[in-house]
A and B are shown apart, each in its own frame.
Chain A
Amino acid sequence: MSDSSLFQSLMHSLGLGHSDFNGGIHPPMHKITAAQASEVSPMPPVLIVPLKQHIGEACIPLVQIGDHVYRGQKIARADAYVTASIHAPTSGKVVKIEDHRIPHPSGMGLPCMFIEPDGHDTIDPACLPIVNWRENDPDLLRERIRQSGIVGLGGAAFPTFIKLLRDRHHPVHTVILNGIECEPYLTNDHRLMLENTRQVIEGMQILMHVVQAQKAIIAIEDNKPDAAEAINACLSKQRLDLTVEVRLMPTRYPQGSEKQLIESLTGKQIPAGKLPLHVGVLCQNIGTTKAVYDAIAEGIPLTERMVTVSGDAVPKPKNLRVRIGTPMRFVFAQCGLEDFDDIQILHGGPMMGEKLRSADIPIVKSSTGILAMHTATMQSVHKHEDPCIRCGHCSIVCPIHLVPNLLADHCRNNQFDKAEDYHLFDCIECGCCSYVCPSNIPLVHYFRYGKGQLAQLTRERRFADESKARSEQRERRIERENADKAARRQRVRAETKPVLDGKNSTENDGDAS
């Protein structure tokens, strides 16, 4: 729980003390890889590229088995709106396309393209930088970002170009670079800010140009003062004529959550069901910003990302620049971990990451980090669940101001209408409630269960409604056709047999009924 929660809640109750979000926790940060320069991971013998690495629709392959591909060549695309195309991470040969496990807690498989690197890492000649992007139309830059398959690299993997759409009614005035990285263990954004400062800042300028924002805020948690220094130094060297502000934020989880960060920086809350642009803000992660720079200024689509490889079972934790599709087993081997007995693998940070069932799963666009933990460590965390003692700590730490213990009760008892009434879908699954729970109740687990069940119910309801509408439509159509038929028959009879009006009309009545 927050150290200053007494004071804070007092201030909050009095309506004072803004510029911070309410709730949150202070977990041990374990940022063991923060001071270490990142390394470039070598090329694995085979890259496994999932054809769906983002929120939205899956992609359709554009190349055949046996085809040679270049690095950055588009190998799969989708026609749906919310999607992001997939590019070959290196040059080589497509050996097969088949189902393989992807980073998902269920261990489910999806179609993946297997690419054997040829060792040359030749970039697709069609990949050209837009050097004079400042003179270019924002729409053209946004289209390039879309074509480059960029998604949010902070873990959510939401297609970036959608956030860059301009809305006449909601002009974006501020671009926020999210350099918070509040998840324990993860340091990949930290290293990017130190090692690729110039690229990150240029990426930010590109984003500002695309949405025509006048102002930018780079938000960094105060446990990374070196990153703030590096960015300040780079900014003063470049003497930008834009208003760019570097803000050190208090270290508190989940400061890096988009909603919470925007609240901390602007004092405004994004209305429920709305996007950051409704408060005039665009928020992008550091890794995403670097990817935007690569796509525009270097012409290279998203094929590589920084991955933190850490956890208490990793002998040599480090940050690695890894090609998308590299198997995790290969990545862990770079860090001295080869034996996976009694080891649990997490994809993402320990607060929001999912536990994987195997190391033979590829790195994807959303892989912020991969952690290997001893089974004993995990067992000491996931203990037996005791009854709720209603201590209310979960409500205090909830950054969305939900009442987690009551919400979990409704989910557990399958009272989904009540769960919805308690705003189940507002939950961001940050895990603060489970973290502080003295009874070890896996609250987030109940919320996921409730969300899944509710989504299923909604689907079924929609299906039933659609069937009903279809059947009603059919009945109406048949009725109409019958009426038409009857009218036609009447007309024909009237034309051919102009006799005995009364007899005719009774026959017609019988037809129509």
Chain B
Amino acid sequence: MLIHISSPHMHGGNSIRITMLTVMIALLPATIVSVYLFGWLAVLHLCLCIGACMGSEWLALRLMGRPTTPVLDGSAALTGLFIALILPAAAPWWIALLGSIFAIILGKQVYGGIGYNPFNPALSARIILLISFPLMMTTWVVPMHLGGSALNLYDFNTSLQIFIHGIQSIPGHLDAMSMATPLGHVKTAATQGIPVIDALKSYDYNLLDAFLGSEAGSMGETSALALLIGGIYLLARHTITWHIPFSYLITVAVLALIFSSIDPNQYAPPLFHLLAGGLMLCAFFMATDPVSSPVTPLGQIVFGVGCGVLTWCIRTWGGYPEGAMFAVVLMNMAVPLIDHYCRPRPYGRKT
């Protein structure tokens, strides 16, 4: 076995499993916040998504006659964790299950498994779900600690009932249990011609809530703070580099700043954009997914700027209130091209 080995004869000890585990640890704050906000519903989704992803991976590998050890490398579990965090809490179980199967089989294994998927599996699953089941994917249950919630999600039976039969099965007005996300609210207002400032006022929007996560949204996306902690952890562990998240966030902020200072009635301010929706999760966790992002530093900056421009454009002018997932998946397509043209200048060479 050791006959044909070539130097180096030392290794730093990093592995795919350690990388995936690091990302999962970084997602811990966001996961805890999701359980705090959405109680048992979050726990049920987490268990189902992680289990379904690992199960689909095992099944796909078995069907292809490949070794099934990659099931335990952590990548499928991480995809499951991602899917749980980007689902609305009120989504029924079969949405989560379908999403997990989509992500692993159509998003990853059909391309050849880990390392070969051109798109982020979790995000492509979310897009498939959003387009296929628009109502269920945009019904946002009121987080637990916001006063006046008609539902007790800390009660296992209530959560289980929503999980199995959907939020419609709970007696009472849907309006009392659900609310719009800030992005959704602003988008609806814009279609009715209401200025952004008035729309935010009527939503009772404040930046601190958005930063801490006291608002409606996908289970793991609401708290910018929790995601920021995770992102900084990933940066400190060198699992990701600053290039993608910084260029992504700065691009969104700069675009929002320019346009909102031109016309504050029509365009939302930069901080609103930064803290809203899936931007933080996408910038630190999804866009930085190693497999589907560029490898060269310059390429990563180009990729981040592209994600930022697309996110802001879709949010502002597109049909959907949130554009981060579309932006990242669209930019994923451009990765081979970006990698080809953004190669670093080798030592001692001019071009």
Residue ranges of A at the interface with B (Cβ–Cβ < 8 Å): 1, 5-6, 9-10, 13, 25, 27-28, 105, 184, 259, 263, 269-272, 274, 344, 346, 348, 350-355, 357, 373, 375, 378-379, 381-383, 386-396, 399-403, 405-406, 422-423, 426, 429, 431, 434-440, 442, 444-445, 448
Contact = CB atoms under 8 A, between A and B. Distances in A.
Given A270-B348, A400-B347, 18 more contacts: A9-B297, A13-B297, A259-B347, A348-B7, A351-B9, A354-B7, A386-B115, A389-B75, A389-B291, A390-B115, A392-B290, A392-B294, A393-B14, A394-B295, A435-B8, A435-B11, A439-B115, A448-B6
Interface of B: 1-3, 5-12, 14-16, 18-19, 73, 75, 112-116, 235, 238-239, 241-243, 290-297, 300, 339, 343-349
Contact of A271 (B5, B290, B348): B348
Contacts of A386: 15-16, 73, 114-115
A388 B115 contact: yes
Nearest to B11: A381
B350 to A, nearest CB: 8
A395 B344 contact: yes
B346 A426 contact: yes
A79 to B, nearest CB: 32
Contacts of B343: 403, 422
A485 B116 CA distance: 69
A386 B19 CA distance: 13
A9 B344 CA distance: 13
A6 B291 CA distance: 21
B1 A379 contact: yes
B347 A399 contact: yes
A269 B347 contact: yes
B296 A392 contact: yes
Nearest to A383: B11
Contacts of A13: 297
B2 A351 contact: no
A379 B296 CA distance: 31
Contacts of A10: 242
A350 B9 contact: yes
A389 B7 contact: no
Contacts of B114: 386-387, 389
7 contacts: A27-B10, A350-B8, A387-B112, A389-B19, A395-B295, A403-B339, A426-B348
A393 B22 CA distance: 15
B18 A353 contact: no
A438 to B, nearest CB: 4
B120 to A, nearest CB: 12
Contacts of B346: 272, 400-402, 423, 426
B241 A9 contact: yes
Contacts of B113: 387
Contacts of A440: 11, 15
A281 to B, nearest CB: 13
B242 A389 contact: no
Among A348, A350, A394, the most chain B Cβ lie within 10 Å of the Cβ of A350
A396 B241 contact: yes
A138 to B, nearest CB: 28
A349 B19 CA distance: 28
The A interface, classified by DSSP as helix, strand, loop or mixed, is loop
B2 A355 contact: yes
Contact of B16 (A389, A400, A405): A389
Contact of A401 (B235, B294, B347): B347
Nearest to A268: B348
Given A6-B235, A391-B19, A406 B8 contact: no
Given A6-B235, A395-B295, A434 B11 contact: yes
A10 B14 CA distance: 23
A423 B349 contact: yes
B347 A351 contact: no
A355 B9 contact: yes
A382 B11 CA distance: 8
A344 B6 CA distance: 13
A261 B5 CA distance: 28
A431 B8 contact: yes
B295 A392 contact: yes
A5 B339 contact: no
A109 to B, nearest CB: 17
Given A392-B296, A434-B11, A435-B12, A1 B115 contact: no
Given A9-B241, A438-B14, A403 B235 contact: no
Contact of A438 (B1, B10, B19, B293): B19
Contacts of B73: 386
Contacts of B116: 387
A269 B348 contact: yes
B6 A105 contact: yes
Given A184-B10, A395-B297, A390 B290 contact: yes
A441 B345 CA distance: 24
A189 B235 CA distance: 37
Contact of A353 (B7, B238, B242): B7
B5 to A, nearest CB: 5
A105 B9 CA distance: 13
Contact of B7 (A271, A352, A426): A352
Contact of A444 (B8, B16, B241): B8
Contacts of B11: 381, 383, 434-435, 437, 440
Nearest to B114: A387
B12 A382 contact: no
A429 B348 contact: no
Contacts of B7: 348, 350-355, 429, 431, 444
A448 B12 CA distance: 21
Contact of B9 (A271, A353, A436): A353
Nearest to A27: B10
B10 A436 contact: no
B8 A9 contact: no
Contact of B345 (A390, A392, A401, A431): A401
A386 B67 CA distance: 12
Contact of B115 (A387, A401, A423, A434): A387
A412 to B, nearest CB: 13
A173 to B, nearest CB: 19
A394 B348 CA distance: 19
A274 B297 contact: no
The 7 closest A-B pairs by CB, nearest first: A431-B8, A387-B115, A445-B6, A392-B295, A391-B290, A401-B344, A438-B14
Contacts of A353: 7, 9
Contacts of B238: 1, 5-6, 393
Nearest to B17: A438
Nearest to A391: B290
B315 to A, nearest CB: 28
Contacts of B3: 357
B14 A406 contact: no
A422 B241 CA distance: 23
A401 B73 CA distance: 29
A27 B12 contact: yes
A105 B7 CA distance: 10
A267 B297 CA distance: 21
Residue of B7, B115, B291, B339 contacting most chain A CB atoms (<10 Å): B7
Contacts of A437: 11, 14
A373 B9 contact: yes
A421 to B, nearest CB: 9
Nearest to A271: B348
B244 to A, nearest CB: 10
A197 B300 CA distance: 48
A375 B347 contact: no
A435 B15 CA distance: 11
A355 B9 CA distance: 9
A400 B345 CA distance: 9
Contacts of B290: 389-392
